[in-house]
Amino acid sequence: TFLNEEPDPAVVERSLDMIAAAGIGSIRQIFGWYEIEPQRGVYTDANGQSTWTKYDRMVDLASERGIQIIARLEKPPPWAKAGQPQPEIDGPPDDYADYAAFVAQVVGRYRGQITFVQLWNEPNLEGEWGNQPIDPAAYVELLQAGDLAGGRVNPDVVILSAPMAINTETVDLVGNLSDLEYLRQLYDIAGFEDSFDVLSVNAFGKSRPPEEAPAADRLNFQRMALAHDIMETAGDGCKAVWAAEYGWNSAPEGIDSIWDRVSPEDQARYTLDGVSLAQSRWPWAGVFNLWYFRHCCQSPDEAVTYFQLLDAAFSPRRVYTALREAAATR
Protein backbone atom coordinates (compact mmCIF):
# COMPACT_ATOMS: atom_id res chain seq x y z
CA THR A 1 0.00 0.00 0.00
CA PHE A 2 0.91 3.66 -0.46
CA LEU A 3 -1.36 5.04 2.24
CA ASN A 4 1.27 7.56 3.33
CA GLU A 5 0.73 9.35 0.01
CA GLU A 6 -2.99 9.87 0.63
CA PRO A 7 -3.73 13.30 2.15
CA ASP A 8 -7.41 12.51 2.69
CA PRO A 9 -8.10 10.29 5.75
CA ALA A 10 -11.35 9.14 4.13
CA VAL A 11 -9.36 7.61 1.26
CA VAL A 12 -7.21 5.70 3.75
CA GLU A 13 -10.35 4.38 5.45
CA ARG A 14 -11.92 3.38 2.14
CA SER A 15 -8.73 1.60 1.11
CA LEU A 16 -8.53 -0.39 4.33
CA ASP A 17 -12.23 -1.27 4.14
CA MET A 18 -11.75 -2.73 0.66
CA ILE A 19 -8.60 -4.54 1.72
CA ALA A 20 -10.47 -6.17 4.60
CA ALA A 21 -13.43 -6.98 2.33
CA ALA A 22 -11.13 -8.99 0.06
CA GLY A 23 -9.98 -11.15 2.96
CA ILE A 24 -6.49 -9.63 2.98
CA GLY A 25 -5.01 -9.84 6.46
CA SER A 26 -1.88 -7.74 6.19
CA ILE A 27 -0.39 -4.83 4.29
CA ARG A 28 3.21 -3.86 3.64
CA GLN A 29 3.45 -0.12 4.07
CA ILE A 30 6.38 2.28 3.72
CA PHE A 31 7.17 4.36 6.80
CA GLY A 32 9.25 7.05 5.13
CA TRP A 33 12.24 8.04 7.22
CA TYR A 34 12.61 11.25 5.19
CA GLU A 35 9.09 12.25 6.19
CA ILE A 36 9.03 11.17 9.83
CA GLU A 37 12.43 12.61 10.82
CA PRO A 38 13.07 15.58 8.47
CA GLN A 39 15.95 16.73 10.69
CA ARG A 40 18.02 14.60 13.08
CA GLY A 41 15.95 14.03 16.21
CA VAL A 42 13.10 16.26 14.96
CA TYR A 43 9.63 14.76 14.47
CA THR A 44 7.70 17.86 13.43
CA ASP A 45 7.25 19.47 10.03
CA ALA A 46 7.93 23.05 8.96
CA ASN A 47 4.60 24.09 10.47
CA GLY A 48 5.37 22.54 13.83
CA GLN A 49 2.93 19.66 13.29
CA SER A 50 3.82 16.12 14.34
CA THR A 51 5.15 14.04 11.46
CA TRP A 52 3.69 10.95 13.13
CA THR A 53 0.05 12.03 12.83
CA LYS A 54 -0.93 10.37 9.58
CA TYR A 55 1.05 7.24 10.41
CA ASP A 56 -0.67 7.02 13.81
CA ARG A 57 -4.04 7.29 12.06
CA MET A 58 -3.07 4.64 9.52
CA VAL A 59 -1.97 2.24 12.24
CA ASP A 60 -5.12 2.80 14.29
CA LEU A 61 -7.43 2.31 11.31
CA ALA A 62 -5.66 -0.89 10.28
CA SER A 63 -5.82 -2.23 13.84
CA GLU A 64 -9.54 -1.52 14.02
CA ARG A 65 -10.03 -3.75 10.95
CA GLY A 66 -7.78 -6.55 12.12
CA ILE A 67 -5.16 -5.82 9.47
CA GLN A 68 -1.53 -6.40 10.37
CA ILE A 69 1.02 -3.87 9.14
CA ILE A 70 4.43 -4.87 7.87
CA ALA A 71 6.36 -1.63 8.23
CA ARG A 72 8.92 -1.11 5.49
CA LEU A 73 11.60 1.13 7.00
CA GLU A 74 13.78 3.01 4.53
CA LYS A 75 14.09 6.17 2.37
CA PRO A 76 16.53 8.31 4.37
CA PRO A 77 16.17 12.08 4.64
CA PRO A 78 18.80 14.27 2.93
CA TRP A 79 20.55 15.08 6.23
CA ALA A 80 21.33 11.37 6.73
CA LYS A 81 23.08 11.23 3.34
CA ALA A 82 24.79 14.62 3.34
CA GLY A 83 28.20 13.02 2.79
CA GLN A 84 27.19 11.34 -0.47
CA PRO A 85 27.46 12.75 -4.00
CA GLN A 86 23.79 11.98 -4.79
CA PRO A 87 21.86 12.29 -1.51
CA GLU A 88 18.55 12.53 -3.37
CA ILE A 89 18.80 8.89 -4.55
CA ASP A 90 17.50 6.03 -2.41
CA GLY A 91 20.38 4.42 -0.63
CA PRO A 92 21.99 3.77 2.76
CA PRO A 93 22.72 6.59 5.22
CA ASP A 94 26.18 7.85 6.03
CA ASP A 95 25.93 6.52 9.59
CA TYR A 96 24.05 3.29 10.23
CA ALA A 97 23.49 4.38 13.83
CA ASP A 98 21.10 7.02 12.47
CA TYR A 99 19.08 4.30 10.77
CA ALA A 100 19.10 2.21 13.95
CA ALA A 101 17.73 5.18 15.88
CA PHE A 102 14.91 5.55 13.35
CA VAL A 103 14.07 1.85 13.56
CA ALA A 104 13.94 2.13 17.36
CA GLN A 105 11.59 5.11 17.12
CA VAL A 106 9.11 3.29 14.88
CA VAL A 107 9.26 -0.04 16.69
CA GLY A 108 8.96 1.61 20.11
CA ARG A 109 6.12 3.94 19.15
CA TYR A 110 4.00 1.13 17.72
CA ARG A 111 4.83 -1.60 20.18
CA GLY A 112 1.68 -3.67 20.55
CA GLN A 113 0.37 -2.54 17.17
CA ILE A 114 3.16 -3.32 14.69
CA THR A 115 5.10 -6.54 15.15
CA PHE A 116 6.65 -6.98 11.69
CA VAL A 117 9.26 -4.66 10.20
CA GLN A 118 11.19 -4.97 6.94
CA LEU A 119 14.66 -3.48 7.06
CA TRP A 120 15.44 -1.90 3.69
CA ASN A 121 14.46 -2.90 0.16
CA GLU A 122 16.24 -4.41 -2.85
CA PRO A 123 19.87 -3.68 -1.88
CA ASN A 124 21.04 -5.77 -4.85
CA LEU A 125 20.09 -2.90 -7.19
CA GLU A 126 22.58 -0.12 -7.67
CA GLY A 127 19.73 2.40 -7.87
CA GLU A 128 18.41 1.30 -4.45
CA TRP A 129 21.91 1.50 -2.97
CA GLY A 130 22.56 5.15 -3.72
CA ASN A 131 24.13 4.45 -7.12
CA GLN A 132 27.05 3.04 -5.16
CA PRO A 133 28.65 -0.36 -5.77
CA ILE A 134 26.55 -3.27 -4.53
CA ASP A 135 27.85 -4.24 -1.09
CA PRO A 136 26.30 -7.25 0.70
CA ALA A 137 28.60 -6.79 3.72
CA ALA A 138 27.39 -3.21 4.14
CA TYR A 139 23.78 -4.38 4.00
CA VAL A 140 24.48 -6.94 6.72
CA GLU A 141 25.91 -4.15 8.86
CA LEU A 142 22.78 -2.06 8.28
CA LEU A 143 20.53 -5.05 9.02
CA GLN A 144 22.39 -5.83 12.24
CA ALA A 145 22.09 -2.23 13.40
CA GLY A 146 18.35 -2.18 12.79
CA ASP A 147 17.78 -5.61 14.32
CA LEU A 148 19.60 -4.75 17.54
CA ALA A 149 17.85 -1.39 17.86
CA GLY A 150 14.40 -2.82 17.25
CA GLY A 151 14.92 -5.72 19.64
CA ARG A 152 15.98 -3.40 22.45
CA VAL A 153 12.69 -1.50 22.45
CA ASN A 154 10.46 -4.49 21.64
CA PRO A 155 11.83 -8.00 22.20
CA ASP A 156 8.79 -9.38 20.31
CA VAL A 157 9.53 -7.52 17.08
CA VAL A 158 9.85 -9.76 14.02
CA ILE A 159 12.58 -8.63 11.63
CA LEU A 160 12.16 -9.22 7.91
CA SER A 161 15.24 -9.01 5.72
CA ALA A 162 15.15 -6.80 2.63
CA PRO A 163 13.84 -8.59 -0.45
CA MET A 164 16.08 -8.64 -3.49
CA ALA A 165 14.90 -7.60 -6.95
CA ILE A 166 14.76 -10.70 -9.12
CA ASN A 167 17.28 -10.61 -11.95
CA THR A 168 20.05 -12.63 -13.56
CA GLU A 169 22.48 -9.74 -13.86
CA THR A 170 26.06 -9.31 -12.73
CA VAL A 171 27.82 -6.32 -11.22
CA ASP A 172 30.36 -6.26 -14.06
CA LEU A 173 27.60 -5.97 -16.64
CA VAL A 174 25.12 -3.44 -15.25
CA GLY A 175 25.99 -2.75 -11.61
CA ASN A 176 23.16 -4.89 -10.22
CA LEU A 177 23.54 -8.38 -8.83
CA SER A 178 21.36 -11.46 -9.18
CA ASP A 179 19.03 -11.96 -6.23
CA LEU A 180 20.26 -15.53 -5.74
CA GLU A 181 23.95 -14.64 -5.90
CA TYR A 182 23.41 -11.72 -3.52
CA LEU A 183 21.70 -14.06 -1.06
CA ARG A 184 24.55 -16.58 -1.29
CA GLN A 185 27.01 -13.81 -0.50
CA LEU A 186 24.92 -12.66 2.45
CA TYR A 187 25.09 -16.14 3.97
CA ASP A 188 28.89 -16.05 3.63
CA ILE A 189 28.99 -13.02 5.92
CA ALA A 190 29.19 -13.59 9.66
CA GLY A 191 26.14 -12.45 11.53
CA PHE A 192 23.67 -12.33 8.65
CA GLU A 193 21.50 -15.28 9.66
CA ASP A 194 21.34 -14.07 13.26
CA SER A 195 20.00 -10.64 12.28
CA PHE A 196 16.57 -11.48 10.88
CA ASP A 197 13.61 -13.75 11.60
CA VAL A 198 11.92 -14.03 8.19
CA LEU A 199 13.56 -14.00 4.76
CA SER A 200 11.83 -11.65 2.31
CA VAL A 201 11.88 -12.37 -1.42
CA ASN A 202 10.15 -10.97 -4.48
CA ALA A 203 7.99 -13.43 -6.40
CA PHE A 204 6.94 -12.14 -9.80
CA GLY A 205 5.55 -14.62 -12.30
CA LYS A 206 6.47 -12.59 -15.39
CA SER A 207 4.57 -14.26 -18.28
CA ARG A 208 4.78 -17.76 -16.84
CA PRO A 209 2.21 -19.80 -14.88
CA PRO A 210 2.94 -20.57 -11.23
CA GLU A 211 3.46 -24.28 -11.87
CA GLU A 212 6.49 -23.66 -14.11
CA ALA A 213 9.55 -25.22 -12.46
CA PRO A 214 12.35 -22.98 -11.16
CA ALA A 215 15.77 -22.55 -12.75
CA ALA A 216 18.62 -20.21 -11.88
CA ASP A 217 18.48 -18.52 -15.29
CA ARG A 218 14.67 -18.19 -15.28
CA LEU A 219 12.58 -15.45 -13.67
CA ASN A 220 9.31 -16.95 -12.51
CA PHE A 221 7.18 -17.45 -9.42
CA GLN A 222 8.96 -20.59 -8.20
CA ARG A 223 12.28 -18.75 -8.05
CA MET A 224 11.48 -18.20 -4.38
CA ALA A 225 12.05 -21.96 -3.86
CA LEU A 226 15.63 -21.49 -5.06
CA ALA A 227 16.10 -18.84 -2.38
CA HIS A 228 14.93 -21.34 0.21
CA ASP A 229 17.39 -23.91 -1.17
CA ILE A 230 20.19 -21.42 -0.47
CA MET A 231 18.90 -21.03 3.10
CA GLU A 232 18.89 -24.79 3.59
CA THR A 233 22.43 -25.12 2.25
CA ALA A 234 23.49 -22.50 4.79
CA GLY A 235 21.77 -24.41 7.61
CA ASP A 236 19.06 -21.77 7.97
CA GLY A 237 16.16 -23.59 6.34
CA CYS A 238 13.99 -23.54 9.44
CA LYS A 239 13.02 -19.90 8.85
CA ALA A 240 9.96 -18.79 6.94
CA VAL A 241 10.10 -17.10 3.55
CA TRP A 242 7.61 -14.32 2.79
CA ALA A 243 6.92 -12.74 -0.57
CA ALA A 244 7.40 -9.00 -0.12
CA GLU A 245 6.12 -8.39 -3.64
CA TYR A 246 4.08 -10.99 -5.48
CA GLY A 247 2.08 -10.99 -8.68
CA TRP A 248 1.67 -10.87 -12.43
CA ASN A 249 1.33 -7.81 -14.65
CA SER A 250 -1.54 -7.39 -17.13
CA ALA A 251 -0.37 -4.36 -19.11
CA PRO A 252 -2.09 -4.15 -22.50
CA GLU A 253 -0.10 -4.77 -25.66
CA GLY A 254 1.66 -1.63 -26.78
CA ILE A 255 2.84 -0.65 -23.28
CA ASP A 256 6.44 -1.56 -22.55
CA SER A 257 6.66 -3.84 -19.51
CA ILE A 258 9.80 -5.13 -17.86
CA TRP A 259 7.54 -7.61 -16.03
CA ASP A 260 6.20 -9.14 -19.27
CA ARG A 261 2.40 -9.47 -19.35
CA VAL A 262 -0.55 -11.83 -18.98
CA SER A 263 -4.26 -11.31 -19.54
CA PRO A 264 -6.36 -9.91 -16.68
CA GLU A 265 -8.04 -13.32 -16.43
CA ASP A 266 -4.71 -15.15 -16.15
CA GLN A 267 -3.47 -12.53 -13.69
CA ALA A 268 -6.38 -13.35 -11.39
CA ARG A 269 -6.07 -17.11 -11.84
CA TYR A 270 -2.31 -17.23 -11.43
CA THR A 271 -2.49 -15.10 -8.28
CA LEU A 272 -4.79 -17.59 -6.57
CA ASP A 273 -3.03 -20.65 -7.99
CA GLY A 274 0.39 -19.46 -6.82
CA VAL A 275 -0.76 -19.16 -3.22
CA SER A 276 -2.48 -22.58 -3.42
CA LEU A 277 0.71 -24.13 -4.79
CA ALA A 278 2.75 -22.65 -1.95
CA GLN A 279 0.25 -23.85 0.65
CA SER A 280 0.37 -27.40 -0.70
CA ARG A 281 4.11 -27.76 -1.39
CA TRP A 282 6.11 -25.26 0.67
CA PRO A 283 5.72 -25.56 4.45
CA TRP A 284 8.26 -22.75 4.81
CA ALA A 285 6.21 -20.21 2.83
CA GLY A 286 4.35 -17.53 4.75
CA VAL A 287 2.73 -14.21 3.86
CA PHE A 288 2.30 -13.20 0.21
CA ASN A 289 2.12 -9.43 -0.30
CA LEU A 290 0.46 -8.67 -3.61
CA TRP A 291 2.18 -5.90 -5.52
CA TYR A 292 0.15 -3.74 -5.19
CA PHE A 293 -3.25 -2.53 -3.92
CA ARG A 294 -3.76 0.92 -5.45
CA HIS A 295 -1.90 4.14 -6.19
CA CYS A 296 -3.62 7.47 -6.50
CA CYS A 297 -1.51 8.80 -9.33
CA GLN A 298 -0.23 6.05 -11.63
CA SER A 299 -0.71 6.67 -15.34
CA PRO A 300 -2.52 4.10 -17.52
CA ASP A 301 0.44 4.47 -19.89
CA GLU A 302 2.77 2.92 -17.29
CA ALA A 303 3.03 -0.86 -17.08
CA VAL A 304 3.33 -0.83 -13.28
CA THR A 305 -0.28 0.40 -13.14
CA TYR A 306 -1.45 -3.05 -14.23
CA PHE A 307 -0.35 -4.73 -11.03
CA GLN A 308 -3.03 -2.80 -9.12
CA LEU A 309 -6.00 -4.51 -7.50
CA LEU A 310 -8.04 -1.30 -7.83
CA ASP A 311 -7.61 1.59 -10.20
CA ALA A 312 -7.20 5.17 -9.02
CA ALA A 313 -11.00 5.62 -9.01
CA PHE A 314 -11.38 2.56 -6.73
CA SER A 315 -12.84 0.40 -9.51
CA PRO A 316 -11.96 -3.25 -8.81
CA ARG A 317 -9.87 -5.06 -11.37
CA ARG A 318 -10.42 -8.75 -12.10
CA VAL A 319 -7.67 -9.85 -9.71
CA TYR A 320 -9.32 -8.04 -6.78
CA THR A 321 -12.70 -9.60 -7.55
CA ALA A 322 -11.12 -13.05 -7.68
CA LEU A 323 -9.47 -12.54 -4.30
CA ARG A 324 -12.69 -11.35 -2.72
CA GLU A 325 -14.65 -14.28 -4.17
CA ALA A 326 -12.06 -16.78 -2.97
CA ALA A 327 -12.04 -15.28 0.54
CA ALA A 328 -15.83 -15.51 0.72
CA THR A 329 -15.70 -19.28 0.27
CA ARG A 330 -13.27 -19.90 3.14
Q: What's residue 67's pLDDT?
A: 98
pLDDT single digits (tens) 63-76: 999 999 999 999 99
Cα-atom radius of gyration of the chain, to the nearest Å?
19
The mean pLDDT value for 121-128 works out to 95
Pick the closest to residue 178 from 233, 123, 260 (CA basis).
123
Is the pLDDT assigned to residue 99 strictly greater than 80?
yes
The mean pLDDT value for 305-314 works out to 96
Q: What's residue 241's pLDDT?
A: 98
In angstroms, the Cα distances linking 83 to 92, 105, 135, 262, 327 are 11, 23, 18, 44, 49
Q: What's residue 173's pLDDT?
A: 65
The whole-angstrom separation of Cα 134 and Cα 126 is 6
Q: Say if residue 147 is exposed, middle or buried (CB neighbours under 10 Å; 0-12, 13-18, 19+).
A: buried
pTM for the structure as a whole: 0.96
